[in-house]
């Protein structure tokens, strides 16, 4: 049975029973809960460990507690899960923006804050004669102008194709919370394909990578573009 103090908190994650809790990794649940309740202490992690292992609460020795803390601090970030319909909505907007590209590599990106688009962009490298004008950076700059702030702490970036190393640097430095990408980019992708740059836990502000959402769907504009060029 779930302890009373945890029941309402876990309901925010749609976890209503011990059986449902044990379907997930206890570290992941703790990361989700800490995103919603930032002041949550490590006691919750210890209790989640015990519940996941069918062990009585408050029975962990100091060595196990220290190991759990150390492991948690080494993990890449995971924020509270986004609703699937919200991901689909903003990915579809990014896809539509990608399809509006004019003789540029068709990639679309939107920055979202509080379920509202505050910045968008597609590739502008040829149009502006600027190699840094990738869709992600254009969208980040647009969002920064909207907010009047270069820090985008509470914002998520949706992009059709996995970001490159340059764009990943911009994502990190702008403090984007999550980057949700539609399709993997095996050659230059810096999130999971080549560099796994967001797994570096030494970075002060962490960004979570979510994706690929649907490789076939979100890579379609790029495939069509490359066919035409050939």
Reference 33, options 56, 60, 11, 55; nearest CA is 11
Exactly one of 19, 20, 104, 136 is catalytic; which is it? 136
**Residue-by-residue DSSP string for 28-45:** HHHHHHHHHSTT--HHHH
Is residue 136 annotated as part of the catalytic site, yes or no?
Answer: yes
| Cα(213)–Cα(183) distance, integer angstroms | 6
Looking up tokens 């702030």, which residue turns up? Answer: 149
Count of Cβ atoms closer than 10 Å to residue 175 Cβ: 17
The encoded tokens of residue 225 equal 């573009």
| Cα(151)–Cα(124) distance, integer angstroms | 22
Residues marked as catalytic: 136
């Amino acid at each position: 049975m779930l302890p009373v103090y945890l029941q309402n908190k876990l309901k925010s994650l749609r976890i209503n029973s011990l059986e449902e809790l044990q379907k997930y990794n206890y570290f992941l649940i703790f990361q989700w809960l800490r995103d919603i309740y930032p002041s949550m202490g490590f006691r919750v992690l210890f209790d989640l460990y015990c519940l996941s292992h069918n062990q009585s609460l408050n029975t962990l020795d100091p060595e196990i507690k220290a190991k759990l803390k150390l492991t948690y601090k080494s993990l890449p970030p995971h924020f509270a899960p986004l609703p699937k319909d919200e991901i689909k909505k903003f990915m579809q907007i990014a896809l539509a923006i990608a399809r509006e590209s004019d003789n540029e590599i068709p990639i679309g990106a939107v920055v979202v804050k509080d379920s509202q688009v505050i910045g968008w962009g597609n590739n502008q490298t040829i149009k502006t004669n600027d190699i840094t004008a990738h869709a992600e950076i254009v969208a980040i700059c647009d969002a920064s102008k909207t907010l009047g702030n270069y820090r985008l702490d509470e914002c998520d970036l949706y992009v059709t194709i996995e970001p490159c190393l340059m764009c990943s640097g911009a994502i990190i430095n702008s403090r984007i919370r999550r980057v949700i990408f539609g399709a993997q980019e095996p050659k230059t992708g810096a999130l999971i394909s080549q560099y796994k740059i967001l797994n570096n836990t030494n970075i002060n502000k962490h960004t979570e990578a979510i994706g690929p959402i649907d490789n076939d769907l979100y890579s379609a504009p790029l495939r069509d573009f490359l066919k035409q060029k050939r």
